[in-house]
Amino acid sequence: MRKNVRHLTHAALIAALYVALTYLQNFLVPGSATFFIQFRVSEALCVLALFTPAAIPGLSIGCLLFNLSYSAALPLDFLVGTLATTLACSSMYLTRKITFGSIPFLSLLMPAFWNALLVGWELAFHIGGGFWLNAAYVAIGEAAVLLILGTALYQVMVKRGIAARLFENR
């Protein structure tokens, strides 16, 4: 398969998976993917940015589609959330080779950093409560997802060779 088609296919599948997982989580545990302290399971997919640059547009579009289609989303969430995801995944991709042991901890913290800054500001703007409190809530949720689920997903993909099989250039 040509590289451009493969990249586009990976991005589209990642976007669809992000949207489906987020809606499924919100259906099974209402509000858990959209409250102040979000534990959005689909954010663990940010780990895919450590293996392929296709995850950057894939996760950004997935975030955009969910935020545009979710009726309780804040007015700026489609823009701010998407920007936070794009910056987080881009930063993850750029820092993917910096590891502690065999884990790219710095990369895994990028979603917590960018979402705390941007979504924390958005929550303070729309809801109040102060920037630092909102940023802390967002960072806690993001860090928990990436450090628990994201690390587990990363380890499985590396140890079982899944990342190499899915994303190698053929």
pLDDT digits (tens, 9 = 90+) for 99-147: 999 999 999 999 999 999 999 999 999 888 899 999 999 999 999 999 9
Q: Two tokens at 103?
A: 């884990």
Three-class secondary structure of residue 103 per DSSP = strand
The CATH number covering residue 143 comes to 1.10.1760.20
Domain that includes residue 59, residue range: 3-167
The residues of the chain scoring below 50 in pLDDT are: 170
Total domains present in the chain: 1
Q: Return d(Cα 43, Cα 38) in angstroms, integer.
A: 10
Q: Two tokens at 142?
A: 């993001």
Q: Count the residues in the chain.
A: 170
Report the predicted TM-score, pTM, of the whole model to 2 decimal places: 0.92
- List all residues 6 or more positions away from 129 whose beta carbon is below 8 Å from its beta carbon: 123
